Structures are given as C-alpha cells and as structure tokens.
Amino acid sequence: MNLVIVESPAKAKTINEYLGRDYQVLASFGHVRDLPAKDGSVDPEQDFAMLWEVDGKASKRLSDIARATKDADKVILATDPDREGEAISWHVLEVLKAKKLLKGKTVERVTFNAITKNAVRDAMAHPREIDQALVDAYLARRALDYLVGFNLSPVLWRKLPGARSAGRVQSVSLRLVCDRESEIERFVTREYWSLVAHLRTAQNVAFEARLTGADGKKITRLDIGTGAEAAAFKAALDTADFKVSSVEAKPAKRHPFPPFRTSTLQQDASRKLGFSPARAMQIAQKLYEGVAIDGETAGLITYMRTDGIDMAPEAIASARKVIGDLHGARYVPAAPRKYTVKAKNAQEAHEAIRPTDMSRLPRDVARYLEPEQARLYELIWKRTIASQMESAELERTTVDIAAVAAGRTIELRATGQVVKFDGFLALYQENDEDDGEDAGRLPAMQTGETLAKDQIISTQHFTEPPPRFTEEALIKRMEELGIGRPSTYASTLAVLKDREYVRLDKKRLIPEDKGRLVTAFLESFFNRWVDYEFTANLEEQLDRVSSSDIEFKQVLRDFWQDFNAAIGETKDLRTTQVLDNLNELLGPMVFPAKPDGSDPRACPHCGTGQLSLKLGKFGSFIGCSNYPECKFTRTLTQTGGEAAGAPGDKPGQRLLGTDPQTGLEVTMRDGRFGPYLQLGDGEKPKRSSLPKGVGPADVDLDKALMLLSLPREIAKHPTSGEPILAGIGRFGPYVQHGKTYANLGQDDDVLEIGGNRAIDLIVAKESGVGGGRFGRAAPAGRVLGDHPSGGPVTARAGRYGPYVNWGKVNATLPKDMTEASVTLEDALRFIEEKGGAAPAKAKTARKPAAKPKSASAKTAAKKPATGAAAPKTATAAKAAAAKPKATAAKKPAAKAPARKTA
C-alpha cells in the first residue's frame, strides 16, 4: 500500500479517486508544527536553533498519518508545489522520522501544478526528494517573522499602550497606507481652468478641441490657474479664426495582457467581481482542488499561488484551438505569445493561473459551480484565452488647429481613436491598463481647412489629493516594491484589519489612530526595519536562499546583529522621548492648521494650555498641558464641533439641536474612546454610543433622539405580557425580555426592528435555540446539512463574527466568509479543525438511545450527546454538570495549543 500525504481534505478526496485502491490519501490539514509563542523558540545564541511544537489541532492528524505509515510500503509527500507546500512535507517527514516509522520504507516527494488525472499520474511517475533550498527559504522567513514579532511587539506594548503587534511585512504594508494618508493631509488644492472649443468642419460635422498652447508656448493642464486668465483666453478664442494646421492618422496596436498570477488575480477579482483578496484565494483554492463534473472530480484551474505568467506548450496549443473554434482564424496570432514577469523579485518556477482544460467553457461548467466560483472561473478563463489572441488594431488621429486673433496664435488639438480590429478586446478588457481612452472617430479634415466655431467653454477645476489605497492597489504597490510574496498578500491585509490598524470604508483602506501611532513609533525608533528598500532587499536575499545562492543562517545572522542592537536601545527610552517624536511626526494629523491662522495646539477649553499627545492605560489621546486643572481630552482625530466650527458649538462637541420634550441640548461629543451622544449636562446626563458602522456625520437630531431613547419598548411578550425592549449594550444591539437577552442579526437595525422579529428572537432564545455567554441568544442560523456523525450543521452570525455550529462545537469563519456564503464542505472542514471529533466520541460512548417514535424524537436522537437538553432546575443543572466532570476526569487533559506570535 502506498500512503499519499496532502494538506487539504478536498485535495485528498480528488486524488484518491484518481489513484485507486493501491493508494491511501490522507490530509495534514495544513501545517502540523509551528514555533511556540515563547522565548527561545528561535535561539540566536545557538546559531538560530528552532524549537518546533506540534499544533494541538494537528495531533490527531499526525496520529492517523503515523498509523497509516506503519502499514505502508511507500510514503509519498504530495503537498502544494511552493515553499509552503515543501515546508509542510518537510514537517511531516521530520515527525515521522522522530517516531522512527520510516525504517525500510521509500519516501518520495511529488508535485503537480494541476489536480487532474493526467497531472497526478504523471507526477507519481516522476518523484524527487525534498527540495532543501525551498525548506531553508521557509525556515529563514519563519525565523525572521518570529524574531521581529516576538521582540518588537513587546516593545510596542511597553512604550505604546493600545498597540497590538508588529511584523516584518505587516508593519511595512501599514506604513504604505499611513504614508498615503499623510500625503492626502499635506495636499494643497490648486485651482486650474480648462478651455474647450466646440467646432464644425466644412461638412458641418461637430467635434471638440482643447487648448494646448499659445504664442509658441506649450500650455499644460495646470498652467491656467485663475478665472481671469481663463477669461482672457476665452475672449481671444471667441473672436478668433480657426484653421486646420495638420492632420496625422497613425495605426496602433494594443496587445493582450498576460494570464493571471497571484497578485493580478487578486487585483482583478477585487476590481471586477468585488471579492476581497482573501475571498478570491479561498474560491480559487476550491477550483484548484476539484469540482465534481458529470460524476468525476477534476481540478478546474492550476495552482493559484504563483509569480509565473507563462504557460505549458500544450496549454498554449489548446488555447489557440479554442480561439480558432470560437472566434475564427483571424483572431489566432501567427506565433504563440511568451510572457515574462516585470515585477521586482518575481519567481517564475510555476505556470500562470489558468484553466486545466481550455475547452471547458464557463457556460458549460457554471451549473456545477457555486455562483462565486463560476464568476471567478470565467474571469480566469477569459484572461487566459485572451492572452493568446491577436492584438487589437487601432487608428489614432491627431488634428492640430490654429486659432488666430488680434495678431496672436492660440493652438488647440483634437484627438480621436477607433478600433479597426478588436482582436483580444472581443473577449477581455482591462480599463485600468488600456492605452488611453477610446475617444471615438474624428470627422474627415484636411490641412488648411477653415473651421466654424459654435462656442468656447471654460471650466474651473481643482486638483485632488492622491486616492487612498484599495486592497488591490496596495497589493500592486507591494509587488512593485518587492515587499512580501504572493502567498502573503491576503494574510497581511487580513492582519492589518484584524489588529484594527486599518479599516475598509467604501473599499478604501483608511489607517486607524493606533495604526498611525504604531507607524510613527517604528519610523522614529526602527526606521530601517520599516524602510521599503531594506524590506525589498531582504526579500531578495530570501529568494536567493531558495535558489541555493546563499546560506539561510547567514541571512539570519546579518539581520539579527543590527536588529537586536536596535531593540536594546529602546529599553532606556523615556515616555517623554516617545511622545516628543510622535507629536512631531503626527502633528499634521493631530493638530491640523486652523482657517483663522490661530495656534492649532491651543487648548479650546482653558485657552492657556497646549494640547499634546498623551499615553494612557487604554491607548493614546489628546490632552491639555494644564491637567489636572484643565481636564479637556479628545481622540486623536477630531470628529466633533471643534473641527466643524458650527455656530453654537462648544469645545470638543457639536450641537445637533434641542430635545423638544425636555428642552435639553443634544450634542455629539469626542470621548477618549470615540464619539458619543449626550442629552444636556449635569451630574449623570443621558448618553449613548454610536452603533457599529455609524459615524458622527451620519447622525442628525432625529437619529440622535432615537438613539438616546434606547432602550425602547417595541412589543409585549406573547405569554407573560411583559415588555420586550431593544437597546445597545456592551456587546452590541440586543432585544430583552426580563433577564433574557438576544443579539440582533447583521441585517437588524436596533432603531427599526419590529415587534414580530423581536418576539421571534426572544422566543427562540427562551426555547433553547442557540445560546451563548452572558445570557445572549445565538440565532438559530442557516442549516447547511447533517454532520456525518449525526446532527445538523448550521451557519450563524455571532458577536465575534460569523461561525458554524455542530452540537457544542463552534468554529469561527475566516474574515471574508459569511454565514450566507459558507458551504457544508467548508463547515465540516472548520469543525474538524476545531476538534469536532469530540462530540462523535461522546455519542459512541453513551448508552444506545431507544428508537425514536416521532419526528422530533428522531431529530433529538441525531444530536451529539454533548448537545443534550439543559436541566430545567438549578438542582438538576448541578447534578448534570457533575456527571460529565467525573467522566472527563478519566481522560488525559489535552494540551492547549500555543498562542500564536502576532
């Protein structure tokens, strides 16, 4: 028997179908070992010896693999064909060696770029050994990430309260976002004017021409800076005679784009399909691992973590055949196209991301796929086929026009572009990369022809600051700079959002206060390690490790010497030094210039104190130098009336209006923990925080009064007749009946929720559907199907995000997956990774239940033993609680998984 080890259960299932009875395929479920989050996991004093620990979730997988290894004649390591895949195989092999299970057994490493029957069987026929250079590159990156995170994060915790973590690539990516925000803040708007002449030819055909020069001097976009200048040009053009100076028509070609690599797939999936980078990779993973089509499972795309943009000769030939069949021979270029990567530090060991079978048209496979999968497959298929199509043929026409008035000559230009042959544009267009806009066809004109004037239009414009990064734009910039690798882009962005260093607003990345503080701190005291060029050079060294050009421990030694010294220098840093540096770097953000030219740091409350950055127990805030006499504080970014300057506003607050019932003022205020609403003043005024997703600018007087009225009665309980209230609490919006609380769902609005919906939530909670800590009800959720061991699997929206549930096992979903999009296959995998075998064991251990006689009894019988109904009385609850404890005491306690290094 041959044992094949892969990392994914879906991949294992597909490959098992291809290989037959002589093979057993098991999944490791990703990495099985990691560096424990404790001092000494990487020891620079022992030449960077690395201490590995088996992940708690992986113990069972490794036990299954070890048992199968005992009976196997050959062990085949078939994890993914990249550095991470090589590392997983190496870890599994090291564990099996430590268990002394490989004596007399053959060990082989195989890789395949696509999960198809031919690719897998061909790989099995051409095994190799573990690529130690790839493993060394992984070890170097993992050691560097540990050394940076484990040594730099504690410095942040001590010197910058509220900071979460720092990382080698994460911190540099955050700096990109923060630097862009600083550019926006420093940006000074400029006024400029444009002039457009609406003209007609001798054949009475209208077109437009733009001002480009005057009196022999070129005029660029920003050269006309005032309305007076624009008016002078307009007056001259109104009286001018217009004549064609020259006509030039040039043929041009637009070439197709290369097939996708990881970064371009993430960018296009975001721009065209609205998928986040992480979500795009999740969907691509499923297309790669295999989908059942006509009774046979097949991988639909090649491996999706790659820098390469070339394709295998047979794939190119297949694409050219499809082009000829669908579009005709005119669309097939004379010779196949070859592509090379221009990105910095790109590695081209693998093919581009492409369909495994070009003849599988999107419309033919759509019925086998989920909607998101079908959309991503179509995008990949179109880009791949288009990459081998003929170029588009264009005609670009430029007409220069002379306007003569009062002895001066003013120059204008009209441009036009038409597509003579669409080529690849018949299938795929990329607007962001097009060579200019399609301006349409210009009318026929000849040199010397006199033109008639309809009107001259002058328009005022203002320059705009550079846009904030979108996720795809940040990935593109990281790739240009050589920061990170394709496999890390999505996870890096996820960390920045998880740490609340950035937030997404209308698809734009906006740095939070804590993110800007962390960046300012690192720029002040660890500038070299967040320098773009330094990070890119380090990535280049790590790539050289993977090609055996440099020894990986030498890279670690060179890095650690200077980095360790920089860490040591921060131990003696005083708080005043930290604050002085942060105040200087963040001045434009924290203390923007005021329109009246007054001191932006002057305290608006006492008038004599100076505002500055303060570090408190719970993070950073702005305070007055006259503390404790003056207790004025606000958040770093101003959201209240001080920034708005509205009439009637007081320092640090914005007046929304007056409550008609009480006559008290309703104000929006800046607190240390964010904006809040307040009704009147006094010792204990009524206050309300803002719901998640609602900003200060979104709140008017009516909405403020509704928020301040919470909790409000919205219904009567159908049994008790007692009121059901809706309110906002510590853990978000809720409905309440007596001591029963139920969280609102993602689509519920605490201000608009109706009585029927509130009653449903409360009744569901009281009837035992859901549950949770602090007396909150978990929603019943969406039933995905039954677990193989029995019992329903549901997807739910929880306080900490969406999750899947089976019995008492709850598994949190990835950030970019919702309870609406998760599938049963996904859920089973997450439950398995969470340790979802425990309920099944408990079910086996209990006494056989009597055969259920009713539908409700059957449903109850399918539930795991751990999901038994709770006792109704306190005494019964204690008795029931005692019994499992006695049983559990007989089993050895499972080792808690190590805390992961940020």
The catalytic site residues sit at 303
514 with 619: CB under 8 angstroms? yes
| CA 841 distance to own-chain centroid | 37
- With b for 16 or more beta-carbon neighbours within 10 A and e for fewer, the 308-319 pattern comes to bbbbeeebbebb
User: What is the torsional sign of CA 567, 572, 578, 584?
Assistant: negative
SS3 category, 444: coil
| CA 774 – CA 118 distance, rounded (Å) | 55
Distance CA 32, CA 54 (A): 6
Q: How far separated are the first and last CA of the chain, in Å rounded?
A: 41
User: Which amino acid is residue 554, in one-letter code?
Assistant: Q
CB atoms within 10 A of CB 846: 13
Q: Helices 575-585 and 513-525: crossing angle, nearest 10°?
A: 110
Q: Residue 46 corresponds to which tokens in the numbers above?
A: 């022992």
Closest Cα partner for 120 from 19, 20, 21? 19
Rounded CA gap, 534 and 482, in Å? 10
Burial class from Cβ neighbours inside 10 Å (0-12, 13-18, 19+) for residue 368 reads: middle
Q: Report the DSSP pairing between strands 241-254 and 23-27.
A: unpaired
Q: Is 372 left (phi over 0), alpha (psi -120 to 50) or beta?
A: alpha
Tell me the CB-side half-sphere exposure of residue 784, using CA atoms within 13 A: 23
Any idea what DSSP says for residue 160? S
* Alpha carbon of residue 698 to chain centroid: 25
Residue 140: strand, helix, or coil: helix
Residue 176 to residue 468: CA distance in whole angstroms? 10
Distance CA 346, CA 344 (A): 6
Strand extents, DSSP E, 559-641:
611-616, 619-624, 633-634
Residue 522: both structure tokens together: 């690192």
Q: In what order do the strands lie in the sheet with 74-77?
A: 23-27, 2-6, 74-77, 106-109
